[in-house]
Amino acid sequence: MIRRTTMSLAVLAAAAVLLSGCWPFTDKAKKGDQVAAKPAPAPEGKVVKPYQTAQSAAARKGSPPPDEVDFLLADLDNPSLVLQWRAEEALRDLGPSIAARVRPLLSSTAILPEARAAACRLAEYFRDHQAMPAMIALLMDESRLVRDVAGVSLCGLTNQDFDYRPDATVEDRVAAQARWQAWYLRTAGPILPPKRR
């Protein structure tokens, strides 16, 4: 009994350490000092621009300058996971006014799967119903990550499911996608094929 309690406490302590500060992105200072966040190094030849916070985006009370959004959209397609995560967070902070700027990423095959997945999450977050045809098309994407995020984001956006599973056989995915398309046709009208960039 004592051994089980000790092990349980050790597991809880380890979980608390892991959850307390995003362990891989921290740098321990001298003993007794606080743990300070260590910024990710910029890739060679690239200057990392500081992102706007939610407060500063709200303070602008208008559309963000095009170059800032373009910069963030480019970072969604960056191989650095840190830059992708920061860009997605900054785009969320800018609000639904940029939904139309994010939408073309859904139908672009020239970008990383992570960027298409991030575009799905942003479409759901912005409640962008105009993005749904492109998201339905992504249910057959070559990347399992994109298929998974597209399915989950569609469910979050519509409260529908249609028994879509990203790792099902191609035939089952095609059938589930057809159910999504039929539902969209009944509720919103015909699906126009997304424009490929």
Which numeric CATH code is attached to 47-188?
A: 1.25.10
Please tell me the distance from the alpha carbon of residue 92 to that of residue 54, in angstroms, as a whole number. 8
In tens, the pLDDT along 58-101 reads 444 455 555 789 899 999 999 999 999 999 999 999 999 999 99
Q: Residue 21: CB partners within 8 Å, gap ≥ 6? A: 35, 37
Give me the mean pLDDT over the 172-197 stretch: 80
In tens, the pLDDT along 24-56 reads 333 444 444 444 444 455 455 544 444 444 434
Please tell me the distance from the alpha carbon of residue 85 to that of residue 92, in angstroms, as a whole number. 11
DSSP reduced 3-state for 26: strand
At 195 the pLDDT is 54
Give me the mean pLDDT over the 104-110 stretch: 91
Sequence spans of domains, the chain: 47-188
Please tell me the distance from the alpha carbon of residue 126 to that of residue 86, in angstroms, as a whole number. 17
At 20 the pLDDT is 42
Residue with the two structure tokens 């960027």: 115
Please tell me the distance from the alpha carbon of residue 78 to that of residue 165, in angstroms, as a whole number. 28
Tell me the backbone φ, ψ of residue 171, rounded to 5 degrees: -60, -45
At 18 the pLDDT is 41
How many Å separate Cα 40 from the centre of its chain?
19
73's tokens: 């959209």
Give me the mean pLDDT over the 139-153 stretch: 95
